Structure 1
Amino acid sequence: MYRRPSPGQLSFENFYLPFGGKLSGENRWVKLAELIPWESFESEYADQFSQTMGAPAKPFRVALGTLIIKEKLGISDAETVEQIRENPYLQYFLGFSEYRESAPFDASMLVHFRQRLNLELLAQVNDAVVDSVLASEGSPVAMSPESSPPSDDDEDEPPAPPNQGQLLIDTTCAPADIRYPTDLDLLNDARKASEAILDALYAQVMLSLKCKPRTYRQKARKAYLAIAKKRQPSRKLIRKGIRQQLGYVRRNLAHIDGLITLGASLSQLSRRQYRLLLVIHEVFRQQEWMYQQSVRRVDDRIVSMSQPHVRPMVRGKAGTPVEFGAKLSLSCVRGCVFLERLSWDAFNESQHLQHQVEAFRRRFGHYPFSVHADQIYRTRANRRWCKARGIRLSGPPLGRPQQDPQVQTQLKQQACEDEKVRVQIEGKFGQAKRRFGLNRVMAKLADTAASAIAITFLVMNLERWLSHFLSFIFGVGLLVLESVMELSGLPWGFARASQRIWLWPSQMGCLYDLMHGICSIYFLSKPYISSVQPKHIFLDFLVRKYRSQPRQELEF
Structure 2
Amino acid sequence: MKIQKIGDIQPTLPFTEYDFLQKYRASFAVSELGRIHALLPLKEMEEELAWHFPKKHPQGNKPMFPREGEIALMFLKPYTGLSDDGLIELLNGSIHMQIFCGIIIDPSNPIKDGKIVSAIRNRLAPALDIVRQQSVLYKKWDSLLKDKDLCISDATCYESHLRYPTDTKLMWECCEWLHALSHKICRNLGERLPRSKYSEVAKAQLAYAKQRKPKKSATRRIQRRLLNLLGKLIGQWNNLCRQYAPLISLTAEQHKRILAIRDVHRQQRDHFNRKEVKHRIVSIDRPYIRPIVRGKENKRVEFGAKVNNIQIDGISFIEHHSFEAFNEGTRLRQCVEYQESLTGVKVTRIGMDTIYANNENRRYCTENSITTNFVRKGPKPKDESADVSTARRIIGSLRATVMEGSFGNQKQHYAVGRIAARNRHSETILLFFGIHIANAATLAARQLAAEIKAKEKKRA
Asked if Structure 1 and Structure 2 have the same fold, meaning a TM-score greater than 0.5 normalized by the shorter chain, the answer is yes
1:166 aligns with 2:143: no
Task: Report the 3-state secondary structure (helix = DSSP H, G, I; strand = E; otherwise coil) of the residue aligned with 2:52.
Answer: coil
Equivalent position amino acid for 1:429 in 2: F
Q: Which residue of 2 aligns with 1:554?
A: none
Aligned length: 446
| Residues 380-436 of structure 1: CA deviation (Å, up to 9, x unaligned) | 2222223332222321233x22374x8598776554333112112111111111222
Which 4+ stretches in 1 moved above 6 angstroms? 5-12, 14-17, 408-411
Task: Report the 3-state secondary structure (helix = DSSP H, G, I; strand = E; otherwise coil) of the residue aligned with 1:341.
Answer: strand
Q: Higher RCO, 1 or 2 (CA under 8 Å, sep at least 6)?
A: 2
Percent of counterpart pairs with the same letter? 24
1-side partners of 2:177 and 2:214: how far apart? 25
1-side partners of 2:43 and 2:242: how far apart? 56
Q: CA deviation at 1:72?
A: 1.0
Task: Report the 3-state secondary structure (helix = DSSP H, G, I; strand = E; otherwise coil) of the residue aligned with 1:319.
Answer: coil
> More displaced, 450-459 or 416-425?
416-425
1:392 aligns with 2:371: yes
1:69 aligns with 2:76: yes
Equivalent position amino acid for 2:218 in 1: L
1-side partners of 2:131 and 2:115: how far apart? 24
| Residues 179-223 of structure 1: CA deviation (Å, up to 9, x unaligned) | 1111111110000011022123313432xx4x3212333212111
**Residue in structure 2 matching 1:179, options 158, 163, 175:** 163
CA contact (8 A) 2:152 2:399 kept: yes
1:428 aligns with 2:412: no
2-side partners of 1:27 and 1:16: how far apart? 25
Q: Which residue of 1 aligns with 2:396?
A: 419
1-side partners of 2:408 and 2:220: how far apart? 39
**Residue in structure 2 matching 1:348, options 319, 324, 327:** 327
Q: Which residue of 2 aligns with 1:457?
A: 435
Q: CA deviation at 1:126?
A: 3.9
Q: Which residue of 2 aligns with 1:213?
A: 194
Greater Rg, structure 1 or structure 2? 1
| Residues 285-331 of structure 1: CA deviation (Å, up to 9, x unaligned) | 11011112x35x51010111211111000111111111111100100
Q: CA deviation at 1:116?
A: 3.2
**Residue in structure 1 matching 2:139, options 131, 140, 162:** 131
TM-score, L = length of structure 1: 0.73
Q: CA deviation at 1:246?
A: 0.9
Task: Report the 3-state secondary structure (helix = DSSP H, G, I; strand = E; otherwise coil) of the residue aligned with 1:263.
Answer: helix
* CA separation of 1:43 and 1:432: change in aligned 2, threshold 3 A: closer
**Residue in structure 2 matching 1:374, options 337, 341, 353:** 353
Q: Map 1:141-152; keep pairs closer than 5 Å.
A: none
2-side partners of 1:228 and 1:241: how far apart? 10
> More displaced, 456-465 or 263-272?
263-272
Task: Report the 3-state secondary structure (helix = DSSP H, G, I; strand = E; otherwise coil) of the residue aligned with 1:313.
Answer: strand
Task: Report the 3-state secondary structure (helix = DSSP H, G, I; strand = E; otherwise coil) of the residue aligned with 1:232.
Answer: coil
1-side partners of 2:450 and 2:8: how far apart? 25
1-side partners of 2:305 and 2:94: how far apart? 34
CA contact (8 A) 1:200 1:269 kept: no
CA contact (8 A) 2:138 2:342 kept: no
1-side partners of 2:162 and 2:301: how far apart? 13
- Structure 1's unaligned 5+ residue stretches are 141-162, 484-556
1:113 aligns with 2:94: no
Task: Report the 3-state secondary structure (helix = DSSP H, G, I; strand = E; otherwise coil) of the residue aligned with 1:65.
Answer: helix
1:85 aligns with 2:92: yes
1:437 aligns with 2:415: yes
* CA separation of 1:318 and 1:265: change in aligned 2, threshold 3 A: farther
| Residues 495-524 of structure 1: CA deviation (Å, up to 9, x unaligned) | xxxxxxxxxxxxxxxxxxxxxxxxxxxxxx
1:303 aligns with 2:303: no
* CA separation of 1:430 and 1:15: change in aligned 2, threshold 3 A: farther
Q: Which residue of 2 aligns with 1:500?
A: none
2-side partners of 1:287 and 1:213: how far apart? 24
> More displaced, 36-45 or 466-475?
36-45
* CA separation of 1:469 and 1:99: change in aligned 2, threshold 3 A: farther
Equivalent position amino acid for 2:291 in 1: P
Q: Which residue of 1 aligns with 2:204?
A: 223
TM-score, L = length of structure 2: 0.88
| Residues 478-502 of structure 1: CA deviation (Å, up to 9, x unaligned) | 3356x3xxxxxxxxxxxxxxxxxxx
CA contact (8 A) 1:84 1:103 kept: no
2-side partners of 1:186 and 1:29: how far apart? 43
Q: CA deviation at 1:108?
A: 1.5
* CA separation of 1:382 and 1:9: change in aligned 2, threshold 3 A: farther
Q: CA deviation at 1:10?
A: 10
Q: Which residue of 2 aligns with 1:523?
A: none
2-side partners of 1:478 and 1:306: how far apart? 56
